[in-house]
Chains A and B, each alone.
Chain A
Amino acid sequence: MECARARELLSPYLDGELESAEQVLLSSHLRSCSACRRELAELEAALGILRGLPELAPAHGFSARLRERLAEESNRQHSGTGPDWELRGRPTPGDCGAGGVRIWPRLAAAAVFVLAVGIASLWAGLGGWKTSPPASFEKVSHLSWQKDQSPRSLPPEPPASPELARKDRQEAEQFAPNQEEMDLRLPALEAGGAGQREENAAAQAAGEPPEKGAAAGSGEARVAEPLPKSPESAAVSVRDTDEGKAALIMTAAPPEKVARKVKIELRTADVEKLGLFLSGYASGQDRQDVAADPDGKPNYRKIIIPVSRMPDFLQEIETHGVILKQEETEQDLTGEYLDLTGQLKQLEEREKILLAQEKNNRGKREAELALQQEIENLQAEIHLLKERLAQLDEQASFVSVEICWRE
């Protein structure tokens, strides 16, 4: 196993999430490679710091304020006033109650806004949470959080359900004729529902893929914009062919980034000519790989061919014999590719901001050094992402073809 591959597997190795074969290979590699052992030790040490972070206590006043809000909430529930969507919005210190919002939506929204801004300003002026009494610390018990955990039986969080989100939107549209009011009163909906759809629509207008997380908050968004296939999803098509008829099974509308493997069984009259032909189709000496057949068959070759040359290759190989079996496997890399592209964009935007900050802080030694360190780390992360994207690009640009033949 190569070190690069071994390092990719260290994380799932720590979690016991590797397939048994990979586990064995990696363990064997670790026994013989001190550099990878060191990588593993560093990773464990870094994660140990994260896992050992102290538990934090909220500032004084947190419980009292929550108690007040719960009492208001309980009164609303028992009095039966106020629709669900009001209860799910984040209450503010200026919350004027269910009836007010229902009857005078614009006025109520404006009042909430003015009060919230006023109180926030006053709070900020006083120092807000920053001047609250200090927090206390306790060691986090990782296990205690997990105790009695039965994840598969968890009920869905009700506010995120499409029905409720739809109901929220209907009520919001009925009582809040403009977007500003909705933004004020329906933060949860704005974040996971309608607002997310707008974000997706804007992203699509700019030629970007929809954000995957959007589906969790809005059933309609999920239906309207199907998510890309998961990167691990693979489709295998096998077809036995009649003599002389090759059958290439291709996806009608291939997704953006797909890694393909083709296995061909061939009966040929001229082995030497076939060998020469295959060598000519390999995209270069470094990309050609001749290996023993895993099933012990005598005549086997594996070549890597650019996608653009596949049609010619398939046409021509028919002239070298009869195709007995052809099997194509696809691995959809689109999901991972889109995911990484999004992350890269975010990092590059942050890099721009930091570079601008660095420029503004020239001469301020401490700030400049801190920024340089941050930029360096960010660039390292960008580099890693770009490397992986390039790897995916390459995987999608070539087809791995395995050929077995007999005379």
Chain B
Amino acid sequence: MDLSERELVQKSKNGDLDAFERLVSLYEKKVFTLVYRYTGNWADAHDLAQETFLKVYQSLPALREDGSFAAWLGQIAANVCRDELRKKRKHPKVSLDEMMSSSGGVPLPALSAGCPESALEQWEMSEAVQEILNSLTDEYRLILVMREIQGMSYDEIAAALDISPGTVKSRLSRARQAFKQKVLARRNFFNLSRV
């Protein structure tokens, strides 16, 4: 019988590792996608996604009964990524050549037997957008991912980044403008010629 998410969280809190692994299987793609969009590096994303789940497991007792597991998990993933980005700013290790290869070497997606062209197109699109995200400043990328991919509200972003909601509004506006300009610079690739 399938257990509800709430039951899985409760069992995990009581130390049931199987239950926690089932929670991981429910959310691993979401978490992995999120940390990849934040960091833009395939290898780092694996490492940071694992770190996120370990932190979640260690911190489960702090999750309140009425708290949303999904939102809490997303918040921890965002914190893990912010820490990593700060660390990289402090000790940059990326060579100039690596900066040119922004995706950090993403493997090709699994090509489904039904429609390989469509999967390939999706992959190309995904990587092109990621290149644009990587070319933005950390601040812009963070706020865009928080809002557009994670779906956080202005108040949540303000709390997570320790800035005022007004700054969220202005920074998000600038980040979106910067993103839009870069997308429009490749409007043919993104099929935006009619917009």
CB within 8 Å of B: which residues of A? 7-8, 10-12, 15, 17, 38, 41-43, 45-47, 49-51, 53-59, 62-63, 65-67, 69-71, 73-74, 77-78, 87-88, 90-91, 128-138, 140, 142-143, 145-160, 187-188, 190-192, 195-196, 199, 211-213, 215-217, 227, 230-233, 335-336, 339, 342-343, 346-347, 353, 356-357, 360, 367, 370, 373-374, 376-378, 380-381, 384-385, 388
A47 CA / B144 CA spacing, docked (Å): 9
A191 B84 Cβ-Cβ under 8 A: yes
B1 to chain A minimum Cβ distance, whole angstroms, is 21
A7 CA / B173 CA spacing, docked (Å): 9
Which of B51, B66, B86, B126 contacts A153 (CB under 8 A)? B66
Contacts of B99 in A (CB 8 A): 353, 357
B45 A58 Cβ-Cβ under 8 A: yes
On chain B, which size bracket covers the interface? 35 or more
Residue in chain B with minimal CB distance to A135: B109
B107 A157 Cβ-Cβ under 8 A: no
Q: Mark B70-101, 1 if CB is under 8 A from A, else 0.
A: 11101110011011101100100000100110
| Main SS at interface, chain A | helix
- B window 158-194: CB within 8 A of A: 159, 161-167, 169-174, 176-185, 190, 192
- B window 38-79: CB within 8 A of A: 42-43, 45-47, 49-51, 53-55, 57-59, 62-64, 66-72, 74-76, 79
Complex A-B, nearest 6 residue pairs according to Cβ-Cβ distance, in ascending order: A230-B164, A191-B83, A11-B173, A232-B166, A130-B105, A46-B180
Residue in chain B with minimal CB distance to A191: B83
Which of A77, A191, A380, A388 has the most chain B CB atoms inside 10 A of its CB?
A: A191
| Main SS at interface, chain B | helix
A91 B42 Cβ-Cβ under 8 A: no
B169 A50 Cβ-Cβ under 8 A: no
B69 to chain A minimum Cβ distance, whole angstroms, is 8
A217 CA / B192 CA spacing, docked (Å): 42
Given contacts A42-B195, A130-B105, A356-B96, contact A151 B152 (CB under 8 A): yes
B149 A53 Cβ-Cβ under 8 A: yes
Given contacts A73-B57, A356-B96, contact A49 B183 (CB under 8 A): yes
B119 A335 Cβ-Cβ under 8 A: no
Which of A15, A55, A129, A154 contacts B30 (CB under 8 A)? A55
B67 A154 Cβ-Cβ under 8 A: yes
A354 CA / B33 CA spacing, docked (Å): 28
A150 B71 Cβ-Cβ under 8 A: yes
Contacts of A41 in B (CB 8 A): 195
Given contacts A62-B28, A157-B59, A191-B87, contact A15 B47 (CB under 8 A): no
B139 at the interface (CB under 8 A from A): yes
A259 CA / B169 CA spacing, docked (Å): 19
B110 at the interface (CB under 8 A from A): yes
A381 CA / B136 CA spacing, docked (Å): 9
B91 to chain A minimum Cβ distance, whole angstroms, is 9
Which of B29, B109, B148, B192 contacts A45 (CB under 8 A)? B192
B67 A213 Cβ-Cβ under 8 A: no
B147 to chain A minimum Cβ distance, whole angstroms, is 8
In addition to A74-B57, A129-B107, 16 A-B residue pairs with Cβ atoms within 8 Å of each other are A12-B173, A53-B125, A58-B32, A66-B50, A87-B58, A128-B43, A133-B107, A155-B72, A158-B59, A195-B90, A196-B86, A336-B167, A339-B163, A357-B100, A377-B182, A385-B174
B150 at the interface (CB under 8 A from A): yes
A247 CA / B83 CA spacing, docked (Å): 49
Give the total number of A-B pairs whose CB atoms are below 8 A apart. Answer: 300
Contacts of B122 in A (CB 8 A): 54, 137
Q: Mark B102-124, 1 if CB is under 8 A from A, else 0.
A: 00011111110000000100110
CB within 8 Å of A: which residues of B? 15, 17, 20-21, 24-25, 28-30, 32-33, 36-37, 42-43, 45-47, 49-51, 53-55, 57-59, 62-64, 66-72, 74-76, 79-80, 82-84, 86-87, 90, 96, 99-100, 105-111, 119, 122-123, 125-126, 129, 133, 135, 137-140, 144, 147-156, 159, 161-167, 169-174, 176-185, 190, 192, 195
B17 A42 Cβ-Cβ under 8 A: no
A136 B33 Cβ-Cβ under 8 A: no
B107 A59 Cβ-Cβ under 8 A: yes
Contacts A/B (CB < 8 Å), 10 sampled = A11-B172, A54-B126, A58-B49, A90-B51, A151-B152, A196-B86, A199-B86, A213-B82, A227-B162, A231-B170
A49 CA / B182 CA spacing, docked (Å): 12
Given contacts A145-B30, A147-B70, contact A212 B163 (CB under 8 A): yes
A58 B28 Cβ-Cβ under 8 A: yes
Which of B33, B55, B179 has the most chain A CB atoms inside 10 A of its CB?
A: B33
A377 B67 Cβ-Cβ under 8 A: no
Contacts of A374 in B (CB 8 A): 135
Contacts of A360 in B (CB 8 A): 96
Given contacts A49-B129, A357-B96, A374-B135, contact A134 B167 (CB under 8 A): no
Contacts of A10 in B (CB 8 A): 173
Contacts of A187 in B (CB 8 A): 83, 87
A47 B148 Cβ-Cβ under 8 A: yes
A15 CA / B47 CA spacing, docked (Å): 33
B134 to chain A minimum Cβ distance, whole angstroms, is 11
Given contacts A47-B176, A377-B181, contact A42 B162 (CB under 8 A): no
